[in-house]
Amino acid sequence: MLTTIIIVLSVITIIGTFIKLLKEDAWWIRFFDFPQAQLAVLGMLCLVGLILELDFNIWWHFVLTLVLTAATVYESIIVFPYTWLANKESKRINDVSDECTLSLMISNVYMYNREYQRLVKVVKDTMPDVLIMVETDLKWEHGVKEIEEFYPYTIKYPIDNTYGILMYSKLQLQGSEVKFMVEEDIPSIHTYVKLRSGDLIKLYAIHPEPPSPTENERSTERDAELYLVAKEVEQVEGPVIVAGDLNDVAWSHSTRIFQRISRLLDPRKGRGFFNTFNAKIPILRWPLDHVFHSTDFRLVDIQRLPAIGSDHFPMYIRLAYSPDRPNDEPLEDPAEEDEREEAREKIRAAL
């Protein structure tokens, strides 16, 4: 029985690893982008079991072990940049003035969660300069109304379809727009944030639709929104931040193309996964809530915040705008022409 279980789990690991190589947008294929760390660990455990249990004089036992080894190595390579052993993309800075810093909190509140005060407490404990909340309806807007005393600038688009978005800011917002980049009922916020130093930061707050049987049967629309933002960022002259629940993991093929086109940095690389979903199921967690920034920022602080009753943990980051001491060039290679063409095809298919 034990041998059978090990073999079945090994086959699941192999299928889950290599099915992602299919360039298909079906949700049941793209789902396997998410649990790559879990598949890497499962593969390691199964390898130990195979070595102890199988008879390598039987040819298919030997082949199974070889293929599982390849799958485990592949998964480990994919998630390695998010371990403490890897190089850091975002350089840290300690001696910094508040004048040039921006602290940001992002939180997918889960629309049906009504524990407003848990979020309010985290906000009051953290006091970010900018707060982005997604999956917000009118009840959430009213439920957290007391925080408005700290935030004189707001952009609100609450909807009861789980794609509402609210932004609260201590800092002045300029040129603010609510856009519907791909789908007419999924908003994103595009705005400039004026730092205390007077510098303007372009901020994109997005929450594209995930590939899932209950949301969207394909990943095309999600990927298209990521690529559209990346192409916009590529044309922006000045500092940029992209933040939100991207409904994609940091190590996926689509997020890597997003980074290669936008040339933005991921502050988690070399520091950890910072898994934000699923807050209620510890064994099934991966990083869905992201902050990417241009090379003229340095990292002051990054942390996952306490649970608020949602299926997502909030994320907090504090960045310092330091154009005189920029980060090194991004470690991701620039997008190649075939990747740009893939992005164009996804955008055409979605629009």
Q: What is the CATH number of the domain that holds 140?
A: 3.60.10.10
Instruction: Identify the weakest region by mean pLDDT among 43-57, 132-146, 299-313.
Output: 43-57
Let me know if residue 90 belongs to a domain: no
2 has pLDDT over 90: no
147 has pLDDT over 90: yes
Same domain, 153 and 37: no
What is residue 328's predicted lDDT score, i.e. its pLDDT?
Answer: 61
Close Cβ partners of 324 (under 8 Å, ≥ 6 residues apart): none
User: Which residue, of 19, 54, 82, is where some domain finishes?
Assistant: 82
Averaged pLDDT, 279-297: 96
Query: What percentage of the chain reaches a pLDDT higher than 90?
Result: 88
Same domain, 201 and 110: yes
Is there a contact between 293 and 267 (Cβ–Cβ < 8 Å)?
yes
Let me know if residue 91 belongs to a domain: no
Same domain, 153 and 23: no
Same domain, 127 and 49: no
Q: What is the pLDDT of residues 164-210, one digit of tens each?
A: 999 999 999 999 999 999 999 999 999 999 999 999 999 999 999 99
CA atoms within 13 A on the CB side of 224: 20
Residue 280, classed as helix, strand or coil, is coil
Confidence of residue 324 (pLDDT cuts 50, 70, 90): confident
Within 10 angstroms of residue 90's Cβ, the number of other Cβ atoms is 26
Within 10 angstroms of residue 95's Cβ, the number of other Cβ atoms is 5
Query: What percentage of the chain reaches a pLDDT higher than 70?
Result: 98
Strands (E), the chain: 101-108, 130-134, 153-157, 165-169, 173-179, 188-194, 200-206, 240-245, 289-293, 297-304, 315-321
Same domain, 67 and 188: no
Same domain, 60 and 152: no
Same domain, 122 and 63: no
- What distance in Å separates the CA atoms of residue 284 and residue 275, rounded to the nearest whole number? 9
- What distance in Å separates the CA atoms of residue 294 and residue 238, rounded to the nearest whole number? 8
- What distance in Å separates the CA atoms of residue 189 and residue 184, rounded to the nearest whole number? 14
Averaged pLDDT, 82-88: 93
In terms of Cβ atoms closer than 10 Å to its own Cβ (0-12, 13-18, 19+), residue 334 is exposed
Confidence of residue 56 (pLDDT cuts 50, 70, 90): confident
**First vs last C-alpha separation in the chain:** 51
63 has pLDDT over 90: yes
Range of the domain at 242: 98-350
Same domain, 63 and 165: no
Let me know if residue 73 belongs to a domain: yes
Greater confidence (334 vs 74) lies with 74
329 has pLDDT over 70: no
Domain count, the chain: 2
Pick the closest to residue 232 from 264, 269, 200, 255 (CA basis).
264
Strands (E), 163-273: 165-169, 173-179, 188-194, 200-206, 240-245
Q: 0.85 exceeded by the pTM?
A: yes
User: What residue type is 34 in one-letter code?
Assistant: F
- Mean pLDDT of all residues in the chain? 94
Let me know if residue 232 belongs to a domain: yes
State residue 226 phi and psi, 5-degree precision.
-60, -45
Same domain, 55 and 115: no
β-strand 315-321 against 297-304: which pairing, if any? antiparallel
What is residue 331's predicted lDDT score, i.e. its pLDDT?
Answer: 64
What is residue 272's predicted lDDT score, i.e. its pLDDT?
Answer: 95
Token pair recorded at residue 244: 């939100």
